[in-house]
Chain A
Amino acid sequence: MVKVDNLVKNYGDFHLNISMEIPDGTVTGIVGKNGAGKSTTIKAILGLIKPDGGHVTINGKETSKLTGAEKASLGVALSDSGFSSYLYVKDIICILRKMYKTFDEEFFRNRCISQGLPFDKKIKDFSTGMRAKLRVLVALSHKADLLIMDEPTAGLDIEARNDILDMLRQYLSENDDRSILLTSHISSDLESLCDNIYLIHDGRIILHEDTDIILSDYAILKVNEETYEVLDKSHILSTKKENFGYACFTSEKQFYVDNYPGIVIENGKIDDLILMMTGGK
C-alpha cells in the first residue's frame, strides 16, 4: 500500500500539500491540469524529490529509504524519462536481466516483437509511440506488485493508447493484489481503467471519488437563468456561466432527475470533473 500523509513540497509560488492512499489491488488515477502537482506527487512517491513536510510510505517504509530489493517490486514508467536513448532494446534486455531477479525475458521479447519494437535499432530512432510502449513494457517486465506511471499514454494515437491499456489490463488480470497509480490527461483512459480518481488542483486534492460513482452520480445540469434562480443548489459542486445560462456540476444526479424533470442533465465524465471543479465558480 502507498500512503501519502500530509506531503508538503514548495517550489517558489507553488505549494503542494496532499494526502492520499493507494490500497493493494486497486487502480488509482490522478487527474488535474498542467502544473497542478501530479508529476510532483509521483516524484515524491518515487523518492526522487525530498518532501518539505509529511511522509510518503510504500508498504510502511519511507520511499527515500527503500532498498534495491524493495524497489524491485515497483514498475515505473515516466513520461519524460527512460533508459538512455543511445541504447538498443537488446542492451536493455541484458541490463534488466542483471537488474531484476524476476525479469521475464520471454514475456519482454515476445511483447517487443508483437508491439513492433526492433531489437537492433537505437531508442533515439524510435517514434514517440514506440518509446512509450517500451517504457510500459520495461515497467511490466519483472512482475512488479505496483506500477507507477506518469502519463503513460501522452502524445499517442488511439491505437497505441489501446495497446498500452490492454497491456495494463492483462497485467492486472494476472494477480488480484497488483496495483497501479497513474496520471493521465486522457479521461477515457482513466474511466476505463481506474477504480478511483484523485483530482489535484493548485497543489491540493479537491476531490477523491470512485470512478463508478463519478460516472453514475455526477452530472452537468444545463439550466437557463430563471431555472438557476429557483434551483436547489445544496448539491451543486461548481457552477459555470454559459451562453444559455449556467452549467452546474453535481454529485447527486438522481436528486435533480427526480425533482427537476424539465432540465437538461448530461452524465458526468472525468473531463467535465476537471473542467468544472478547477475552472468553475
Chain B
Amino acid sequence: MLGLIEKDIRLTLARKQTLLIFLVLALVMGLSMDGSFVIGYLTMLATIVAVGTISYDEFDNGFAFLMTLPFDRKTYVKEKYLFSFLSAAGAWCFGVVLYCLGSAIRHQTVMFADELPILLALLPVLFLLATVMIPLQLKYGSEKSRIVLFIIFGIIAVLIYGINKIFDGSDIMSGAVKTLDGISPIVVLVSIVAVCLLFTCASYLCSVRIMDKKEI
C-alpha cells in the first residue's frame, strides 16, 4: 500500500506545471474572492487529479506490470480511494487556510462556528466525485469513462431540472425547504457524511468487482 501511495505521489508530482497553474489560480481566487468557493474548487481539483493517476497506470499498457507487483487487486482499489481522499482532505485544508488568509486581508471576520459544518460537508460531498469516477475509470478506461461521466451528469441535471419544474411553487417543495431549514447543521452534516460513506462503500465494492473481473 505504501509503495502504491509513493507511486501516486510521484506520478502526481510529475505534472508539476499543471499543479502550479492550479495553485496560482487558487491563490488568486482565495486572496481576491469573497466566500469559500476556493475550498470547493481546490478539493474538487485535487480529487480529479488523484483519480487521474489511474490513467497514468493504464498508459502504455502499464497495468500489466503494475499488477505483478506485491499487492493484490483489492489493495490497488483501496489505495485509489485512500489516495483520493487524502488528496481531497489535503486540498480542503489548504483551501481553508487560503480562505482565512483572504478574509484576514479583506478585514472580514470568519464565523467558524456558523460556517464550519458547511465547509466540512464540502469534503464528503466533493469526494463523491471520486466514488463515481474510480469505478468508471477502472471499468471503461480514462477516455470512455469521461463520456460515461458526462452522460451521468447530464441525466442528473435533467432529473434535477425535471423535479424542479414539477414541484416549482408547490406546497411540497416549500414544505421540504422549511423542514430542512429547521434541522440543526450538525444533524445535516452527520447525515451527509453517513450518506457519502454508504455511497463510498457501494462504490468501493463495485470497483473491487470490476478489478477482479478485469483481464489485463
Contact = CB atoms under 8 A, between A and B. Distances in A.
Among A67, A87, A95: residue with most chain B CB under 10 A: A95
A252 B70 CA distance: 45
Contact of B11 (A69, A82, A87): A87
Given A68-B71, A69-B70, A80-B61, A98 B3 contact: yes
A79 B94 CA distance: 42
B154 interface: no
B143 interface: no
Contact of A76 (B11, B59, B65): B65
A182 to B, nearest CB: 14
Given A48-B215, A91-B10, A94-B6, A99 B70 contact: yes
A82 B59 CA distance: 10
Contacts of B11: 84, 86-87
B64 A78 contact: yes
From DSSP, what is the main secondary structure of chain B's interface residues? helix
Nearest to A49: B215
A98 B62 CA distance: 19
Nearest to A96: B3
Interface string A45-69: 0111110000000000000001111
A85 interface: yes
A72 interface: yes
> Which range contains the number of A residues in contact with the other chain?
20 to 34
Among B59, B71, B75: residue with most chain A CB under 10 A: B71
Contacts of B75: 68
A86 B6 CA distance: 14
Interface string B125-165: 00000000000000000000000000000000000000000
A100 interface: yes
Contact of A74 (B7, B59, B62, B68): B68
B6 to A, nearest CB: 5
A95 B3 contact: yes
B65 A83 contact: yes
Nearest to A71: B70
Nearest to A101: B70
Contacts of A259: none
A31 B50 CA distance: 41
Contacts of A82: 60, 62, 65
A85 B70 contact: no
A34 interface: no
Interface residues of B, number: 26
A49 B3 CA distance: 24
Interface string B1-43: 0110011001100100000000000000000000000000000
B69 interface: yes
B71 to A, nearest CB: 4
A67 B59 contact: no
A99 B63 CA distance: 16
A66 B3 CA distance: 18
A69 B72 CA distance: 9
Nearest to B61: A81
A78 B69 contact: no
Given A48-B67, A68-B71, A74-B68, A81 B215 contact: no
A83 B11 CA distance: 10
A218 B6 CA distance: 52
B79 to A, nearest CB: 12
B216 A48 contact: yes
A67 B63 CA distance: 17
A178 interface: no
Contacts of B56: 84, 86
7 contacts: A71-B72, A72-B70, A76-B68, A78-B65, A80-B61, A83-B62, A99-B69
Query: Which 3 pairs across A and B sit closest by C-beta, in order of nearness?
Result: A99-B3, A98-B3, A72-B70
Interface of A: 43, 46-50, 66-69, 71-72, 74, 76, 78, 80-87, 91, 94-96, 98-100, 122, 135, 148
Given A76-B65, A84-B57, 17 more contacts: A43-B64, A46-B67, A46-B68, A49-B216, A50-B215, A71-B71, A78-B64, A80-B64, A83-B62, A84-B62, A85-B59, A86-B56, A87-B10, A91-B7, A96-B3, A99-B3, A99-B69
